[in-house]
Copies of this chain bind each other. A is one copy, B any other.
Amino acid sequence: MADSKRVSQITRMEDDFSKWYTDVILKTEMVDYAPVKGFMVIRPYAYAMWELIQAAFDKEFKATGHQNMYFPLLIPESYLAKEKEHVEGFSPEVAWVTIGGGEELSERLAIRPTSETIICSMYAKWLNSYRDLPFLYNQWANVVRWEKTTRPFLRTTEFLWQEGHTLHETFDEAQEETLKILEIYRRVCEEVLAIPVIVGQKSEKEKFAGAHATYSIEALMHDGQALQSGTSHNLSDHFAKAFGMKFLNRENQEQYAFSTSWGVSTRLMGGIIMVHGDNSGLKAPPKIAPIQAVILPISLHREGVRQAAFGLYDMLKDDFRVKVDDSEQNTTGWKFNEYEMKGVPIRIEIGPREIENGQFAYVRRDTGEKALAPISAIKEIIASTLDDMQNRMLESAREDMAKKTSAAYSMDAFKEALAANPGFIKAKWCESRECEDNIKEMTGATLRNMPFENEDIGSETCVCCGREAKRTAYFARAY
């Protein structure tokens, strides 16, 4: 069948997961490679999904009192250098502008790899009194980090993200903000993207350059590799001291402010593909599906069919993102494959037989189940099917993550578990950098994060050195 060729051209994920991923993103026309290595073009179907993701996060940020701003793309080298750990962390990845308007610049300018340094320098200027606090600001922007190995969405030289930057009177308020955002990240990932995540704190080694503490949400892909999906940093007064963010406090004393920063990026698009996708292609969670239902007229040229299809469209268009594909250049079989591959949650079919019976047929992308229903009930049925699919996709991803999570009490068990069932390994850890490094060297797994609740996993000793250990940590190979 020529019609099924396009989908059959997607490499099976069991055969080569990496090639499956590339096939899916290219064949669904989500991205294309740009002329400069490591850069991507985000095509309309993917960008529409990104807009819906942005809207979901933006709504939560605004509901918690944050406002958007925009700071410059270019940062003077001297600003980047002010926070020592920060510059060490980022300077190897910087793209430098050295010529502007035909002239060599007296100071080279970094394309922002992240904006703490420029934002803090402005905050220092705006901050006078405790009455000015908190500063609760966010920006949606592009950033550039010169990466050696890149993959569309997962790690690209340029990516799109939001970066929140807040200022507070006290350390505790900064900590509260850091965790409030982390909880928003968890909730939007789970409730909107249908991606379950492990929530916890990063190790000293893995924390953000310049932070007091970094927290993350970590998702698990179909291949058992983790994807860091959002981070929230308590920067304490580190950047305040580097940039002079001082204010007169309630006791009329000058003091340093406490800051946070936090971000999610187009990386989440990669997570959606690798958590929900299957060998037929993408599966878009209904809440962020650019097309929630596609209406396909069957026997397009039979009288009344096209009109009936647009009749359904008119019934649905105010409440759902819906599309009729009545194009004549492609067969119905081609369309079936196309929208399945693009992960459209519901396919609606309407042909002479359905019209005669006052019915429409619909097929769910997640289960493949086909059903008939009366046209008069179409709004309720589409709404409840999308709801159910959203919930089932999260549930199914949760089950998959649970299946791919093992506990280990020794390095032999750790290695065995990772080989037999790639995914998260939860283990006790003594909090030494040495053990963290050894584990990575022996297994390729990194410490993803340490959940807040110190889960009892049936062991009290470090999986690596056998010494007493208090923290439970999640390890995985990661993107």
A residues lining the B interface (CB < 8 Å)? 32, 34-36, 39-44, 47-48, 50-51, 67-76, 79, 92-102, 108-109, 111, 118, 121-122, 125-126, 131, 137, 141-142, 144, 146-148, 157-158, 160, 329
Contacts and interface: CB of A to CB of B under 8 A. Distances in A.
A451 to B, nearest CB: 34
B74 A158 contact: yes
Nearest to A102: B92
B137 A40 contact: no
Contact of A121 (B35, B68, B95, B118): B35
Given A95-B97, A95-B100, A34 B146 contact: no
Nearest to A125: B32
Contacts of A92: 101-102
A44 B32 contact: no
* Residue of A68, A75, A101, A126 contacting most chain B CB atoms (<10 Å): A101
Given A34-B118, A74-B39, A92-B101, A137 B44 contact: yes
A72 B137 CA distance: 26
A interface SS class: mixed
Contacts of A141: 142
B160 A41 contact: no
Contact of A47 (B70, B93, B126): B70
A125 B43 CA distance: 13
A137 B70 CA distance: 24
A79 B35 contact: yes
A72 B158 contact: yes
B35 A118 contact: yes
A111 B97 contact: yes
B98 A69 contact: no
A458 to B, nearest CB: 45
9 contacts: A44-B137, A47-B67, A47-B68, A70-B160, A73-B142, A73-B158, A95-B97, A98-B98, A98-B99
A68 B51 contact: yes
A244 B444 CA distance: 46
A146 B105 CA distance: 11
Contact of A42 (B70, B144, B329): B70
B76 A36 contact: yes
Contacts of A75: 35-36
A100 B146 CA distance: 6
A100 B147 CA distance: 9
Given A44-B69, A72-B34, A158-B72, A99 B101 contact: no
B101 A93 contact: yes
A131 B329 contact: yes
A36 B109 contact: yes
* Residue of A73, A108, A147 contacting most chain B CB atoms (<10 Å): A73
Contacts of A96: 97-100
A425 to B, nearest CB: 32
Contacts of A126: 32
A122 B126 CA distance: 43
A81 to B, nearest CB: 13
A67 B41 contact: no
A430 B70 CA distance: 45
Contacts of A95: 74, 97, 99-101, 109
A68 to B, nearest CB: 5
B97 A69 contact: no
Nearest to A68: B47
Contacts of A122: 32, 34, 41
A364 B209 CA distance: 50
A51 B95 CA distance: 29
A72 B39 contact: yes
Nearest to A137: B44
Given A36-B72, A47-B67, 20 more contacts: A35-B72, A35-B75, A35-B121, A36-B109, A39-B73, A41-B71, A42-B69, A47-B68, A47-B70, A70-B160, A73-B111, A74-B95, A94-B99, A97-B97, A97-B98, A99-B108, A100-B146, A100-B157, A131-B329, A142-B142
Contacts of A102: 92, 146
